[in-house]
Structure 1
Amino acid sequence: MKAIQSVEQEGQLVTITYADGQLNLQVVTPQIVRVQHGPWQPGHSYAIAGDKVQAAPYQVDRGSQEVVVTTAALKVVADAEGFVDLFDAAGTPLVQDFRGPRHALARDLSKAQADLAAAEGHDLAQVEAANANLVVKVLHEHEHLYGLGDKAGFMDKRGYEYDMWNTDNPVPQLENRTRLYKTVPFMIGLNDGHAYGLFFDSTERSHFDLGKESSDYFYYTSAIGTVDYYLIAGAGIPGVLEAYTYLTGRTPLPQKWTLGYQQSRWSYGTEAQVNYIADKMREYRLPCDVIHLDIDYMDGYRVFTVDHNHFPHFASQLSDLAKKGIKIVTIIDPGVKEDPGYHVYDEGVAQGLFAKNTDGSVYVNAVWPGAAVYPDFGRAKVRDWWANNVKFLTDNGVAGVWNDMNEPASFKGEIPDDIVFSDGDQPSTHATMHNVYGHNMSQATYDGLREQTGKRPFVISRAVYAGSQKYATVWTGDNHSLWVHLQWSVPLLCNLGLSGFAFAGTDIGGFGSDTTPELLTRWIEAAIFSPLLRNHSAIGTRAQEPWRFGEKTLGTYRKFLELRYHLIDYLYDLFEAGTRTGLPVMRPLAVHYPQDERAATINDEFLVGADLLAAPVLTPNTAERLVYLPAGEWCDFWTGKAYAGGRSYVIAAPLDALPLFARVGAILPWRPLTQYVDVATETTLGFKCFGNTGTYSHYQDDGESFAYETGAYNRYAVTVQNGAAKVTLTHQGYAKPYQTITVAVADGAVQTLTYDAATGSYRA
């Protein structure tokens, strides 16, 4: 045994000294304890902004064989061997160190066989090398594991392995793909209804094995660094998410128009083509707020330029489109064309802003413009310079920025690990800074947009790190027009939500390959509640704007866009609540039904908030499907038919239908239909009560500025009691309350309430 030699306390830090090392337990909050081996190193975190350590009361008890640290929410036990276990306040074990031997996977593979298979092109799993940083935890028989960002596959990650290394690989994703575009080394465990979180705040390449090697344990490992991670306890998954997003930041309240429909393609490459898309959206009465411009709007793919041959009236065109309710979001890649005389390149070289070779010369690889160099975003000076360049876009009327290729992607082989990137003011390496490259680029873009517009920035990023949710929305990258990618869109988006990324979406219809009318229809149905609602497709693929497939597809597409616009205020309310709770819009059933084993592994249903359950059809040639409804009373959103929870039902689902259920007692905002979001014209709002009794809290502000942070918002309490509706303004700081509010109850009766400015109240 190691034997505990001493236990010392200093502020929130407990240091346990053993004969052969040191263990540090830092009480960050009553729900969070940081675990670190070796001499205490507070360190710098890209995920955690500011000092999140609270002066939380805690107690330390030393026994002969263990040290126990207790807070109001948890208990951490460190034994004489240095093993660490987490319990909740009631003493229920949440996650414990594994104390037995590991068992290597039996692969029956000799070195000669492996070499032969590799020569034919097979990518065989490699034997794990020795690692300095290894954490092994007990895996219980019925434990479920979630999170880790955008990893391919199903909702429950148990039994799979994943790598943390942001990777641009356009080959269709399969469940054996261990890495995609994002590094979020945060996971949630759920065992017998009890939840915990583990966050490994390391930017280096790392690996999770979630029970693939053995069903007895799961582990995290990294070749660089030491054991350093956070234990998180909470009241179920919501409590864990609240604590984790306190630590790493929450998705900020977006501008309201960003919740509208967004149409994109690689590329709408001319002024005429963009105008055509905008006109068709309005002609076909397809609600739409945004058109995206991919790389072809630029001059030779040079960032912060416009090809004036193809867009001769860029600023005036964007102004004209804005008058029609269409905003433009433009793509920007980090790769700066190596081109003397091009001002962005020249400035960067003159000021030493690009990543370097070990000999001090500027590192050159290639992306879309050909030979290209990489801004060294780890330095504040570089981020400020990049933010200032964003002004070129905002001056032209661009409403948001879409950061792509920021893993960073490179066409001439992977960037070598020893290329010099900066970690703050200190030189570092690509190996250390790779996974936060997109994170730092997103922060720079966010800061530029906020400074230049005074509005809530709309930044989309493909590559991120834990905590990037403070700066960017995300999408799942280059998917394909494949049914399996539609099926995985649900667990991908739900797990991103459980990783802190409440604002996420997929490329509707699929980015690569060719979609079909049926696949596109089912995709818009499945995606209609995804926070980022964007149809995007690749160059050379079949055009997939909804009018390309005939009237039946167009009509169904319009039907679900109209549903989205009716419910935008519900989504906006969920975003506002998420700024306080960390809960996402799209949620796996396990979030609210942790004791339900059937809910824990469902891949083809999800909750929208706590009050809506969507069960989209995700397979071809399917006209009905089995829907599981968790405990409680539910009703069909479309017909009002009642269903008892805790059972499965066969539900008819023809091609134009989305099985959708509301919790009985739910009240949902139901805004008048518009073709785009225009907060200035919002004078009327409706509510639907699913039943004759319910309560709801609704939030209203100007939809774009930061004035809400100083109280410029309204909050409404909507109650229905035995069919009678009442609306009360509980906080009024926004000068434009609704003039009229309608409330529809289950029997179809609609009550209208009118605002009385003299009393600040609503009367029937």
Structure 2
Amino acid sequence: MFGKIKFYEKKSNDVSIEFENGRASVDIITPSIINFFSTLSTERRASKAVENLKRMPGKITVDFIDGQVLVYTEKLKVSITDNFMVDIFDLNGKRICSDYRGEDKPFVRRGNDDDGNIAAEEGHQLEEERKSQKIKILKQLNPGSYFYGLGDRTGHLNKLGYHYKMWNTDNPNPHVESFETMYKSIPFFVALEKKTAYGIFFDNSYETVFDFGKENSNYYSFSAVDGNLDYYFIYGPSAKEVIFGYTLLTGTTPLPQLWTLGYQQSRWSYAPEKRLQEIANNFRKKDIPCDVLYLDIDYMDGYRVFTWDQQKFPNHEKMLDRLKGQGYKIVTIIDPGVKKDKGYSIYDQGLKNNYFATDRDGIPYVNRVWPGKALYPDFSNQAVRHWWAENQKILVNHGVAGVWNDMNEPASFDGPLPDDVQFNNDGRLTDHREIHNVYGHYMSKATYEGIKTATNKRPFVITRASYAGTQKYATVWTGDNQSLWEHLRMSLPMLMNLGISGFAFCGTDVGGFGFDCTPELLSRWVQVGAFTALFRNHSSASMRDQEPWAFDEKTESINRKYIKLRYRLLPYFYDIMHDEETTGLPMIRPLLLDYQNDENVYGINDEFMSGSNILVAPVVEQGKTARMVYLPKGNRWI
């Protein structure tokens, strides 16, 4: 594709290489972090994830030998050959990562019809996917390789053999191992081979695909339907150093306020006010600690964002003040969809100032979500983000302590947003394909900045959809899970991979959002939740009650015990989150981060470290009262 190397030039920390059919650059960020870039679609645009980047390249030397451009940093040797083929070595000559030289060739999939010439459904879908990809990078896949990250993907901790698509998706069906799309798009992974770790961050907000040997066991790949070739190689050799490098690029989670690490109770929905007050009183009456109560969509007037239903909550300011006196913080949900309703101030302001995404003719695009016909704020426009940030005062000035951003994939009831919906993109017009995966990211950024300005306190923002770097602005949860034992089991590798992906502050809906929870399942889930950063019980409308006291005295007692244990450990958890601001290391983490020299831990799905000092091995199977625990080598365990 690129052809032969014609010449190269070095300017400061950047090596530019001219090929027969294009130009590429090798940008040394630090001695361990290198950005590989080529303009394939549009001019280079500001990253949505990497902000305020400070380069510390160290000493760099460049040479040209035997047709190779050789770039040496203080940690790495990089070889670039014809067709922009890249090989990376340590300074001892050990090969760390190499581009694959063979043919891009998926394994054979055979049809099953009478004529034998129609591809199987999955094979057909994959072939269409391959045809749509304008950019594809193939890397050599060696025996004994492990892959982690990509956010909260379903499946096992180790992603070898999996195929995932980065396209933020609100799918209400029960999540299973075969799901390729979820609510978040975090195009970053850590590879581990022969006890050496490196990471790759593919900074492309279009739909991207990651295949770790499912397509062909000789290579792994990452690809995109559009945009530019733009990825960062991050050397360890420890996985901890890779995460440090990745969060150096995309940011770490700011130290949260202490109350956000307490127990949180939610439901769709605690309404009217009488029901919310009943929940608040029960926690105090039953001696179960709780810091946060949530209000889901039913607190709003006809689902109009930044409003209150005056019948369900006739004096919400007085209510919020009363709950504050009982020691509660209130977090309210906000969706991006603005009801199409003349006379409704948010709609009128957005329409007047051209703040909504439009069709190709400049007419505001309309779809349907909870309020009915709704318009979508163009959060890719700085002016819109500023307006949305200002609106946070409507909530926090009345006593709301945090904001919960939901439905921001963005979700839409009348089919997905068309590809050609137009966005401002901070003055560089683009379409939905480029903005979709960062829509929730930008919404969280606006919310975070608005709360910070309005309160001068550390904001608490929780979001369902996100992109790489959202950890700077929001905590996340794994979305609409179900009250299923399989979802409890699956939550452990999901949370561990979120942590590896830079999201130190994350959790699940404890007990499960959909389906009916059972006493045993809630008991086991709260035992896990007590050791995760976000500890929130949340359940759906029409499901049975799921509060700690909703079942029987035994279940209530177990919940009380572990919620109180959580509060005893809060100083420890707060220290972890404080250290994370510097290291990027999460609270819940796979054992391999602390015990990389013990290869037995590389695939453990059902144990995790809570910080570096507590190993958590929960029971995640119905009816079990005991389990085997693997203790990593190198420690004296108590």
Normalization by structure 1: what TM-score? 0.81
Q: Give the equivalent residue in structure 2 for 1:371.
A: 373
Q: Give the equivalent residue in structure 1 for 2:27.
A: 26
Aligned mates of 1:602, 1:589 — CA distance in 2: 8
Deviation of 1:115 after TM superposition, in Å, equals 7.9
Aligned mates of 2:124, 2:101 — CA distance in 1: 32
Q: Give the equivalent residue in structure 1 for 2:158.
A: 156
* Alignment partner of 1:232 is 2:238: no
Structure 2 matches for 1:301-700, cutoff 5 A?
A: 301-636=303-638
Deviation of 1:574 after TM superposition, in Å, equals 0.6
Structure 2 matches for 1:138-177, cutoff 5 A?
A: 138-177=140-179
Please list the CA deviations of residues 362-419 of structure 1 after superposition, one character each: whole Å capped at 9, or x if unmatched.
1100000000000000011101111111111011100000000000000000000001
| Structure 1 residues 359 and 115: alpha-carbon distance in aligned structure 2, compared to 1, 3 A threshold | farther
Aligned mates of 2:366, 2:83 — CA distance in 1: 49
User: SS of the residue aligned with 1:423?
Assistant: coil
- AA aligned to 2:248 is Y
Which segments of 5 or more consecutive residues in structure 1 lack a partner in the other structure?
637-764
- AA aligned to 1:496 is L
Aligned mates of 2:636, 2:347 — CA distance in 1: 59
Deviation of 1:126 after TM superposition, in Å, equals 4.4
User: SS of the residue aligned with 2:630?
Assistant: strand
User: SS of the residue aligned with 2:559?
Assistant: helix
**Worse-matched range after superposition: 232-241 or 398-407:** 232-241
Q: Number of paired residues?
A: 634
**Worse-matched range after superposition: 375-384 or 54-63:** 54-63
Deviation of 1:93 after TM superposition, in Å, equals 2.0
Please list the CA deviations of residues 516-552 of structure 1 after superposition, one character each: whole Å capped at 9, or x if unmatched.
0011111011221110000000000111001011111
Deviation of 1:634 after TM superposition, in Å, equals 3.6
| Structure 1 residues 187 and 419: alpha-carbon distance in aligned structure 2, compared to 1, 3 A threshold | same
User: SS of the residue aligned with 1:547?
Assistant: coil
Deviation of 1:632 after TM superposition, in Å, equals 2.6
| Larger Cα-atom Rg | 1
Q: Give the equivalent residue in structure 2 for 1:685.
A: none
Aligned mates of 2:628, 2:181 — CA distance in 1: 32
Aligned mates of 2:132, 2:564 — CA distance in 1: 55
Deviation of 1:421 after TM superposition, in Å, equals 1.5
Aligned mates of 1:522, 1:2 — CA distance in 2: 58
Contact kept in structure 2, 1:88 and 1:233, CA below 8 Å: no
- Superposition RMSD on alpha carbons, in Å? 1.9
**Worse-matched range after superposition: 45-54 or 240-249:** 45-54
Which segments of 5 or more consecutive residues in structure 2 lack a partner in the other structure?
none
User: SS of the residue aligned with 2:443?
Assistant: helix
| Structure 1 residues 298 and 612: alpha-carbon distance in aligned structure 2, compared to 1, 3 A threshold | same
Please list the CA deviations of residues 595-640 of structure 1 after superposition, one character each: whole Å capped at 9, or x if unmatched.
222200000000111111000011111111111000133434xxxx
Identity over the aligned pairs, expressed in percent? 48
Q: Give the equivalent residue in structure 2 for 1:207.
A: 209
Deviation of 1:31 after TM superposition, in Å, equals 1.5
Contact kept in structure 2, 1:131 and 1:222, CA below 8 Å: yes
Aligned mates of 2:512, 2:586 — CA distance in 1: 23
Aligned mates of 1:116, 1:5 — CA distance in 2: 43
Q: Give the equivalent residue in structure 2 for 1:762.
A: none
Deviation of 1:130 after TM superposition, in Å, equals 5.1
Deviation of 1:62 after TM superposition, in Å, equals 1.6
User: SS of the residue aligned with 1:27?
Assistant: strand
Contact kept in structure 2, 1:421 and 1:427, CA below 8 Å: yes
Contact kept in structure 2, 1:299 and 1:306, CA below 8 Å: yes
| Structure 1 residues 504 and 116: alpha-carbon distance in aligned structure 2, compared to 1, 3 A threshold | same
Q: Give the equivalent residue in structure 2 for 1:17.
A: 18
- AA aligned to 2:354 is G
Deviation of 1:73 after TM superposition, in Å, equals 2.1
Aligned mates of 1:89, 1:250 — CA distance in 2: 29
Deviation of 1:426 after TM superposition, in Å, equals 2.4
Structure 2 matches for 1:109-258, cutoff 5 A?
A: 109=111, 125-127=126-128, 128-129=130-131, 131-258=133-260
User: SS of the residue aligned with 1:627?
Assistant: coil
Deviation of 1:594 after TM superposition, in Å, equals 1.5
Deviation of 1:116 after TM superposition, in Å, equals 10
**Worse-matched range after superposition: 15-24 or 262-271:** 15-24
- AA aligned to 1:6 is F
- AA aligned to 2:602 is A
Aligned mates of 2:539, 2:631 — CA distance in 1: 34
Q: Give the equivalent residue in structure 2 for 1:718.
A: none
Contact kept in structure 2, 1:481 and 1:512, CA below 8 Å: yes
Aligned mates of 1:373, 1:76 — CA distance in 2: 48
Please list the CA deviations of residues 7-50 of structure 1 after superposition, one character each: whole Å capped at 9, or x if unmatched.
20112110122333333111111111111235895421110112
Deviation of 1:110 after TM superposition, in Å, equals 6.9
| Structure 1 residues 123 and 36: alpha-carbon distance in aligned structure 2, compared to 1, 3 A threshold | closer
Aligned mates of 2:610, 2:459 — CA distance in 1: 24
User: SS of the residue aligned with 1:187?
Assistant: strand
Contact kept in structure 2, 1:73 and 1:234, CA below 8 Å: no
Aligned mates of 2:119, 2:163 — CA distance in 1: 24
**Worse-matched range after superposition: 320-329 or 2-11:** 2-11
Aligned mates of 1:626, 1:288 — CA distance in 2: 32
Contact kept in structure 1, 2:112 and 2:120, CA below 8 Å: no
The structure that is strand-richer by fraction is 1
Q: Give the equivalent residue in structure 1 for 2:5.
A: 4
Normalization by structure 2: what TM-score? 0.96
Structure 2 matches for 1:47-126, cutoff 5 A?
A: 47-109=49-111, 125-126=126-127
- AA aligned to 2:391 is N
Aligned mates of 2:3, 2:427 — CA distance in 1: 39
Aligned mates of 1:87, 1:54 — CA distance in 2: 20
Aligned mates of 1:278, 1:512 — CA distance in 2: 23
- AA aligned to 1:316 is K
- AA aligned to 2:587 is V
Aligned mates of 2:516, 2:118 — CA distance in 1: 37
Aligned mates of 2:132, 2:337 — CA distance in 1: 35
User: SS of the residue aligned with 1:443?
Assistant: helix
Contact kept in structure 2, 1:353 and 1:382, CA below 8 Å: yes
Aligned mates of 2:116, 2:391 — CA distance in 1: 53
| Structure 1 residues 141 and 344: alpha-carbon distance in aligned structure 2, compared to 1, 3 A threshold | same
User: SS of the residue aligned with 1:626?
Assistant: coil
Aligned mates of 2:422, 2:116 — CA distance in 1: 38
Aligned mates of 1:172, 1:584 — CA distance in 2: 27
- AA aligned to 1:522 is R
| Structure 1 residues 272 and 90: alpha-carbon distance in aligned structure 2, compared to 1, 3 A threshold | farther
Deviation of 1:3 after TM superposition, in Å, equals 4.2
Aligned mates of 2:561, 2:636 — CA distance in 1: 23
Deviation of 1:233 after TM superposition, in Å, equals 0.7
Aligned mates of 1:101, 1:284 — CA distance in 2: 65
